[in-house]
Amino acid sequence: MNNRRALKCVLAMSVAAGAFATVAAAQQQVPPLKVTRIRDNVWVTQGGDGGNTGIIVGTTGVIVVDTKTTVASSKDVQAEIAKITTKPVTTAILTHSDGDHANGVAGFPPGLQIIAQENAKKEMIASAGTRGAYPQDRLPTKTIGKDETMTIDGVRVRMLHWAPGHTSGDLIVFFPDEKVVFMGDLMTYPNRPDVLAITGGTLIHTEKNGSAAGLLVNLKGVVGLNADTFVTGHGELMTKQDAKERYAFIQDKWNKVKAMSAQGKSEEEIKAAVGERTVARGTPGLPVGVPAKTLSEVMYDEINSKKKS
């Protein structure tokens, strides 16, 4: 089996599991869409069907960062944009390939410039034919490797990828003049301790070659940016101090898992010691992204696989 077929198989399994969670979540009430202005030309939408969405108004057009889950949810965002400006949406930047951040791009008008990290595009292509697949007629028109700064409609934006983290194709979207950074799902739900106890801080899609070690590389880079507003993939915004504390929390967890692994502690003992628990996907009151493995379990696997190699 070649690499592309293998990736397609694991993505199919991932999408199928995610679809089960999506159905369960759909039975819960979708929170109303809330729009918050964070700079003169920058807004963020929270709630609705999918992750947080950025709205950045340029000279003659609008940039969106992430596009919700469905055509209908993306239309809701576009209706809110129309209340802000009559300028058209010309660019969509996708922080990663997950459907709740990317699939709503199908609801935007044709001709959109679509930007994603190069590994994210590979994941999008590999999802073709699976349930909840990324819309293949809206594949990214531009991809980013590691670090690229460009000006889009008068707005300077720096896009960064340090390592696989939440997925293999995470893209940090930084607006240096506005001091705003969109992190995608590298950080989520800062005010949900119940979610923190399940995800351990961040969900890692191991089936998309995500990595706990790589997550730490990304978070170190993110908190080093000259930003003061940090937009999470889901949930409330973070200050720089909030982001530093989340990074420190996850780094401390890695250190504890590594130390306890060296002591011969079992995976279950470690998970209990760091305060994580496993729950079923689709549990009422919890987000769709309840992981198959908690962060400490992913860390345990990575640390112990290195010991064996």
Q: What is the pLDDT of residues 177-211, one digit of tens each?
A: 999 999 999 999 887 887 788 777 788 999 999 99
Whichever domain contains 195, its CATH number is: 3.60.15.10
Whether the pLDDT of residue 139 is over 70: the answer is yes
**What pLDDT was estimated at residue 27?**
39
Residue with the two structure tokens 């699976």: 130
Average pLDDT over residues 56-83: 97
pLDDT average, residue stretch 118-139: 95
Q: Are 253 and 295 in contact (CB under 8 A)?
A: yes
- Supply the pLDDT for residue 193: 83
This prediction has a pTM of 0.88
What's residue 66's pLDDT? Answer: 98
The whole-number pLDDT of residue 154 equals 97
Q: Read off the pLDDT band of 287 (50, 70, 90).
A: low
Residue 159 has pLDDT above 90, yes or no: yes
Range with the lowest mean pLDDT among 8-12, 94-98, 112-116, 200-204?
8-12
Q: How far apart are CA 129 and CA 172, in angstroms?
A: 28
pLDDT digit string (tens) for 234-260?
999 999 999 999 999 999 999 999 999
Q: Please give the pLDDT value at position 20.
A: 33
Here the tokens at position 39 are 């700079």
Percentage of the chain modeled with pLDDT above 90: 75
User: Range of 149's domain?
Assistant: 3-308
- Proportion of the chain above pLDDT 70, given as a percent: 85
Structural domain total, the chain: 1
| Mean pLDDT over the full length of the chain | 88
Q: In the predicted model, is pLDDT for residue 4 greater than 80?
A: no
User: What's the farthest any 2 CA atoms get from each other in the chain?
Assistant: 61
